[in-house]
């Protein structure tokens, strides 16, 4: 005659409880792995890994601040480059102005020639002012009369790069009222144009130096942001190849766990054979 053991009880099925506990753990791991694959993240919130989440969160906040700096630097770079483009166009016009002034300085010109040269000279001066008024980006014009210096945010702690404005208007270049009406006026015009050429050259040099400073800082800021993003990724991004392999293993364990639970649940039914 058989002797009943603890496992022969219909009230307490220890094997089933152990199988269910194992299956529950497998299911929890499976849910975590599926979430990693779905989101691409191994740390989806503070409940996943509190300390890692806290570190990553602080880095993400820092990146947001750096992104604002990068936006300011990019905007400043565009504003300076717009001014430089305007200055280069004016520099080209200065060459034409000098050519007209030199032509007007030659002897033997009649009044009609002076008039033609003066009209061309005046037209070039008008083009300079048109360019100056057009050299504007995001409502910032660094080469117009009365322009203010540009302050560009360069770091998250509030440091800035100051870009000096350059007055490249006709008045700012000392060419206002200059004409080629006669030989005397032409001589005066040539002197004024030569002085203005130096002014334009110095202005472009100053703007170019500022552009280089802003560009260098923008490049560094972008690299810093990339490094921080890479660090955040190392902390919270899932290894999808590893997660995929783990998913397959857990799915197999889940199937085996279901089978084990089924076997354990059927064990008490063997007791019925004792009463046949």
Q: What is the DSSP string of 167-192?
A: --STTTTT-TT---SSHHHHHHHHHH
Domains of the chain, residue spans:
6-40+240-275, 50-236
Supply the pLDDT for residue 6.
Answer: 45
Give the list of residues 6+ apart from residue 213 with CB closer than 8 angstroms, or none.
Answer: 161
Supply the pLDDT for residue 270.
Answer: 66
> Which tokens in the block code for residue 225?
């942001």
What is residue 148's DSSP assignment?
A: P
Supply the pLDDT for residue 168.
Answer: 97
pTM: 0.75
CB distance 38 to 196 below 8 Å = no
What is residue 253's DSSP assignment?
A: H
Supply the pLDDT for residue 207.
Answer: 97
Rounded to the nearest 5°, which phi and psi values hold at 42? Answer: -90, -20
Supply the pLDDT for residue 274.
Answer: 60
Query: Rounded distance, CA 213 to CA 165, Å?
Result: 15
Burial class (CB in 10 A: 0-12, 13-18, 19+), 88: middle
**Closest-CA residue to 76 (of 87, 65, 86, 84):** 84
Q: How many residues does the chain have?
A: 276
Query: Rounded distance, CA 34 to CA 251, Å?
Result: 11
CB distance 166 to 206 below 8 Å = yes
In tens digits, the chain (276 residues) has pLDDT values of: 444 444 456 566 777 788 788 878 878 777 776 777 777 777 877 877 899 889 989 999 999 999 999 999 999 999 999 999 999 999 999 999 999 999 998 888 999 999 999 999 999 999 999 999 999 999 999 999 999 999 999 999 999 999 999 999 999 999 999 999 898 999 999 999 999 999 999 999 999 999 999 999 999 999 999 999 999 998 887 767 776 777 787 788 778 778 877 777 776 666 666 666
Query: Rounded distance, CA 89 to CA 73, Å?
Result: 24
Domain 50-236: give its CATH code.
1.20.1330.10
What is residue 146's DSSP assignment?
A: T
**Closest-CA residue to 161 (of 174, 145, 150, 148):** 150
């Amino acid at each position: 005659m058989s002797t009943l053991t603890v496992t022969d009880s219909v009230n307490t099925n220890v094997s089933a409880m152990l199988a269910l506990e194992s299956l529950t753990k497998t299911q929890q791991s499976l849910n975590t792995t599926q979430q990693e694959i779905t989101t691409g993240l191994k740390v989806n919130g503070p409940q996943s890994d509190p300390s890692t989440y806290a570190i990553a969160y602080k880095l993400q906040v820092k990146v947001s601040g750096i992104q604002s700096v990068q936006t300011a630097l990019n905007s400043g770079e565009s504003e300076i480059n717009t001014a430089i483009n305007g200055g280069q166009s004016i520099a080209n016009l200065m060459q034409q102005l000098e050519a007209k002034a030199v032509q007007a300085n030659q002897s033997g010109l009649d009044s009609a020639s002076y008039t033609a040269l003066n009209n061309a000279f005046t037209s070039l001066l008008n083009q300079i002012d048109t360019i100056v008024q057009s050299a504007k980006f995001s409502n910032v014009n660094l080469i117009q009369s009365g322009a203010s210096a540009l302050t560009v945010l360069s770091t998250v702690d509030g440091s800035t790069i100051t870009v000096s404005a350059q007055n490249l208007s006709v008045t700012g270049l000392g060419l206002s009222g200059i004409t080629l009406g006669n030989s005397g006026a032409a001589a005066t015009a040539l002197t004024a144009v030569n002085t203005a050429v130096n002014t334009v050259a110095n202005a472009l040099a100053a703007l170019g130096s500022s552009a280089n400073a802003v560009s260098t800082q923008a490049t560094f800021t972008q690299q810093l942001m990339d490094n921080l993003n890479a660090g955040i990724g190392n902390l919270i991004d899932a290894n999808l190849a590893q997660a995929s392999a783990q998913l397959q293993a857990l799915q197999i364990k889940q199937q085996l766990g279901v089978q084990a639970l089924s076997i354990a649940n059927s064990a008490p039914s063997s007791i019925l054979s004792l009463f046949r």
